[in-house]
Structure 1
């Protein structure tokens, strides 16, 4: 299987909608009190265009024989805080691999692309958020060298 990684274009919108629908369903099933269920695309048509127009963001897709089987959404961020060192990092907002293509190297290729993108821009740190239910993703990230920096906790009242 040949996996081609490239930047997304507006022409990819339908393929991206399928990937987002799959991941949205997974999140809704695991956390229905947090995520809405959607019968159709949950993101407006302007979602991709806005991301493509933002110089601090990139959307890369994994293409196998003309089918989009994965995506990674990246954003360069900077933070200033009075008691912390200045932070300049690449945030991985989204990493999706279609269920039938998981375990076949797609996520690895997308992550390698993120690392290259960060290094080319002088960024020396990657960050991401992942829900505790997604143990497969957590195992992948840990294998990639990610460690837990903090915990985001909540309590329903």
Structure 2
């Protein structure tokens, strides 16, 4: 298994991964519109010096992805000015349970440390128990639960 920076040549596969994420999240979010949804600006994530988009490749096939993006905290009361936001965490179903997500996370966290960032955040649907467990296993802890009400 090779973990490497994504390139523009990976975009077709990455766009399929994006729809895989949307499909996985639909059961947890009734507010998502029908049809194709694009969460990510993949070109930006590939090109930006403030981001890294990593992929896992096995036998010349991209099987997983994830990014880290440096963001301003925007909150003067936080004890950090910048943090790394993680997203686009996807592993092809046939490669799940093999530690591939952890390999991507390790690469993203290493990049984050190299950039001098010590705070890392991500969003996950609280009902997505397998994802929550995977992030907790990697050392993440819950911080805030967003509540909603449709009136």
TM-score > 0.5, shorter chain as reference: yes
User: Per-residue deviation at 1:34?
Assistant: 1.9
Equivalent residue pairs, number: 151
- After superposition, the CA RMSD in angstroms is 1.9
Distance 2:77 2:116 in 1: 24
After the TM superposition, list the runs of 4 or more consecutive aligned residues in structure 1 that deviate by more than 6 angstroms. none
From 33, 40, 43, the equivalent of 2:38 is 43
SS at match of 2:41: helix
Distance 1:121 1:84 in 2: 19
1:1-157 to 2 correspondence within 5 Å? 3-31=1-29, 33-38=30-35, 42-43=37-38, 47-157=41-151
Q: TM-score, length-normalised on structure 2?
A: 0.90
- Unaligned 5+ runs, structure 1: none
* Cα offsets for 1:110-156 (capped at 9, x unmatched): 01001110111111121101001211110011111111121211111
Distance 1:75 1:122 in 2: 13
- Unaligned 5+ runs, structure 2: none
Q: TM-score, length-normalised on structure 1?
A: 0.87
